[in-house]
Structure 1
Amino acid sequence: MKNNMKVLALGLLLAAGLPACDKKGNAETATAEAPATAAKENVPAFNADSAYQFVAKQVSFGPRVPNTPAHRACGDYLINQLKGYGANVLVQPFTGKAYDGTSLDLRNIMGQFNPKASNRILLAAHWDTRHVADKDSLNPKKPMDGANDGASGVGILLEIARQLQANPLTGNVGVDLMLFDGEDYGQPDNTGPYKEDTWCLGSQYWAKNLLPKGYTANYGILLDMVGAKGSRFAREETSRAYAGDVVEKVWRTANQIGYSDYFPFQDSPGITDDHTYIIQHANIRMADIIAYDPSSPDGFFGPYHHRHTDNMDIIDRKTLKAVGQTVLHVVMTEQ
């Protein structure tokens, strides 16, 4: 994903004839309420220290580039962690074809909580690391740590898994934690004519080969680059168009429980990310929580994006807390 050539995914979905949801609240403002609001709803406290350690653990394997020992070892770790938290774990191995013809050994990993419930919520992130730091002036052909771009979203989902084990879902609501592979092996700039659909290989494959077979969800939330200090999360255009009510739910929740600084009522352009293919091929409404920085060199993504500065130095517990508590609140109040 996440390349300026991949901006404005909305047009591709409109061309496919998918209906858009209403866009709401473009001019809204909000003031922060005390984070203690979450406790009033009997929502457990998201542990940012735990999430931080989950991020650090992934980074400790080294860059999680497909076809490397670090990638294999980290995938095994994620599977074992989800099993350890009582999830029903489904693993979808597949071979992806990279932009340069490389065959990639990939695995999508899903952890299901309350799997018999018919009302399901899909929470997703990608767990692989980009194979090159192609926006960096130093060592651009070497892989990066991907602490924020990849590990941060997975770290939050692992902490949510830990919370769901300690606070089991009741009733007819279930949560599926999906870890997509091969998201960040897309075509670098200046490598010949642009090729379609070289990013988000895992979500493309899963959306066309659903596991479990016939899977559907009431809605989904994608986490991408959700751990950097000072992050702000704007309402991305594709999400607003096709999952407007989900965007509304997430941003209002964040503001109600005290995280308006992180979730301003601000809109951002559409991008191609894993949610694009889930909307297009699986017909699941999915909102993308992704950091937006229009002042950065790229005009959208932070200054660490696809650079070696995407390491543990930029990961901030407060940002992990804001995103994790918001998503946990959304999930737990569906019961």
Structure 2
Amino acid sequence: MASSRWFAWGLMSLIVSNSLACHDTTEGQLPRLEATLAGDGNEPPATKSDFATARDPVPEIRPVPFDKQRAKKYLQELCDLGPRISGTEGMKKQQKILETHFRNLGASVQRQEFQVRQWSRKEQTPMVNLIVSWHPQRQRRILIASHYDTRPIADQEPNRAHWTKPFLSANDGTSGVAFLMELGHHMKDLKTEFGIDFVFFDGEEYVFETSPFGGRDKYFFGSEHFAAEYVKSRATRTYRYDAGVLLDLFAGQDAQLKIELYSWDAARPLVEQIWGVAKTLGAKSFVFQKGYEVLDDHIALIRAGIPTVDIIDFDYPHWHRLSDTPDKVSAEQMREVSDVLTVWLQKIR
């Protein structure tokens, strides 16, 4: 299962590495994390449990009360729609659910619409990135993203006869959507200096070819369009993204969240901040060890000058299989990731 994934991603590693070396760095500086203790290179910097000094005491920063059962309920409701492939009725139903959900919670919701032509398709496909903004007036912003399309083929099934079948993609994309739906309940009360944008990328894996060595079908339509528009608007927009977090395949049972190497190379301070908070909180799924390079939506963001960390489990056993169903997703894992990210969001300056 994993070998073809890493082989296909590995074919592009040198090309991506060279392009990342030239990525745009003119937007601004990374957010700082206050009151950290230096790491030794083998462990992340430890954060003080009370985030205070004797002279300048401040209250302990606590995670939001993330309702893990409600998050799991959201995930089940989305999976009940069936596959949500880009441009299909299932995707359109999901878009309506998300737009209504976040507007009801008081967020600003923007549809970023565009058309794509996939190599293996005859017609153009309409796609929509959803941008959900909290405190839209704030100029310094943090981006938290997930793709929300489902892959049209289960090309990691052991039986090749099943490769052309769509699947629910419960952890691969849907877990990030459900996670952000629940997190939305807490955003107005989150004590952070930054504006926060949830971005749902369309077309992350709108791929129909089944060759284990890759083909001509393209990935990452949504993130590449979003990044291009962000760069294009530099002269006129009044905000910037200081940092980004991508959530992908992060909520499986017994997930191990090691460090993705493009994230390490392009946004090492963010990795150290987030994994440092995880260490302080005792979040055991965050493992401060280097994993692999992964081609994912964060690449386009990094190229656009947004330092971004991909939080991903490299070894999810149901990746691109019909068995990627809601029962494989851990509500407790979603809560643990929420604890880490919401403390980090409150702690950065």
TM range (shorter): 0.7 to 0.9
Alignment equivalent of 2:22, drawn from 18, 22, 38: 18
Which stretches in structure 1 are left out of the alignment for 5+ residues? Answer: 294-301
- In structure 2, relative to structure 1, the CA distance for the partners of 1:28 and 1:190 (3 Å cut) is same
- Residue by residue over 1:192-240, the C-alpha shift from the partner in whole angstroms, topping out at 9 and shown as x without a partner, is 87337x1111001111123994353010000001211011001000000
SS class of match (1:7): helix
Distance 1:118 1:104 in 2: 33
Matched, 1:304 2:318: yes
CA contact (8 A) 1:10 1:238 kept: no
CA contact (8 A) 2:64 2:190 kept: no
Q: CA deviation at 1:328?
A: 1.6
SS class of match (2:287): coil
- In structure 2, relative to structure 1, the CA distance for the partners of 1:192 and 1:29 (3 Å cut) is closer
Which residue of structure 2 aligns with residue 246 of structure 1? 270
Alignment equivalent of 1:104, drawn from 97, 108, 125: 125
The number of residues matched between the two structures is 317
Matched, 1:288 2:288: no
Matched, 1:265 2:288: yes
Q: CA deviation at 1:33?
A: 11
Distance 1:248 1:177 in 2: 22
Alignment equivalent of 1:142, drawn from 165, 180, 186: 165
Which residue of structure 2 aligns with residue 81 of structure 1? 101
Aligned amino acid, residue 279 of structure 2: N
- In structure 2, relative to structure 1, the CA distance for the partners of 1:104 and 1:127 (3 Å cut) is same
Q: CA deviation at 1:29?
A: 7.4
Alignment equivalent of 2:111, drawn from 88, 91, 94: 91
Aligned amino acid, residue 332 of structure 1: Q
Matched, 1:256 2:260: no
1:172-251 alignment, distance < 5 Å: 172-186=193-207, 188-190=209-211, 194-195=215-216, 198-210=218-230, 213-214=233-234, 216-251=240-275
Alignment equivalent of 1:318, drawn from 324, 332, 339: 332
Q: Which stretch shifts more, 47-56 or 128-137?
A: 47-56
Aligned amino acid, residue 206 of structure 2: Y
- Residue by residue over 1:38-95, the C-alpha shift from the partner in whole angstroms, topping out at 9 and shown as x without a partner, is x931432222112111211211111001222111101111111111111111111111
- In structure 2, relative to structure 1, the CA distance for the partners of 1:50 and 1:149 (3 Å cut) is same
Q: Which stretch shifts more, 203-212 or 53-62?
A: 203-212
CA contact (8 A) 1:148 1:315 kept: yes
Instruction: Give the number of the structure whose alpha-carbon radius of gyration is greater.
Output: 2
Distance 1:270 1:276 in 2: 10
1:39-188 alignment, distance < 5 Å: 40-102=60-122, 103-136=124-157, 137=159, 139-165=162-188, 167-169=189-191, 172-186=193-207, 188=209
- Residue by residue over 1:245-288, the C-alpha shift from the partner in whole angstroms, topping out at 9 and shown as x without a partner, is 111111111111120x20011111111100001111x2100000
Aligned amino acid, residue 274 of structure 2: V
- In structure 2, relative to structure 1, the CA distance for the partners of 1:175 and 1:29 (3 Å cut) is closer
Distance 1:8 1:158 in 2: 35
Q: Which stretch shifts more, 245-254 or 46-55?
A: 46-55
Q: CA RMSD in A?
A: 2.9
- In structure 2, relative to structure 1, the CA distance for the partners of 1:12 and 1:265 (3 Å cut) is same
Distance 2:332 2:63 in 1: 18
Q: CA deviation at 1:191?
A: 7.9
Distance 2:224 2:44 in 1: 36
Q: Which stretch shifts more, 232-241 or 93-102?
A: 93-102
Q: CA deviation at 1:97?
A: 1.9
Distance 1:241 1:31 in 2: 20
Distance 2:117 2:41 in 1: 40
Aligned amino acid, residue 22 of structure 2: L
Which stretches in structure 2 are left out of the alignment for 5+ residues? Answer: 26-38, 50-58
TM-score (norm 1): 0.86
TM-score (norm 2): 0.83
CA contact (8 A) 2:141 2:242 kept: yes
Which residue of structure 2 aligns with residue 328 of structure 1? 342
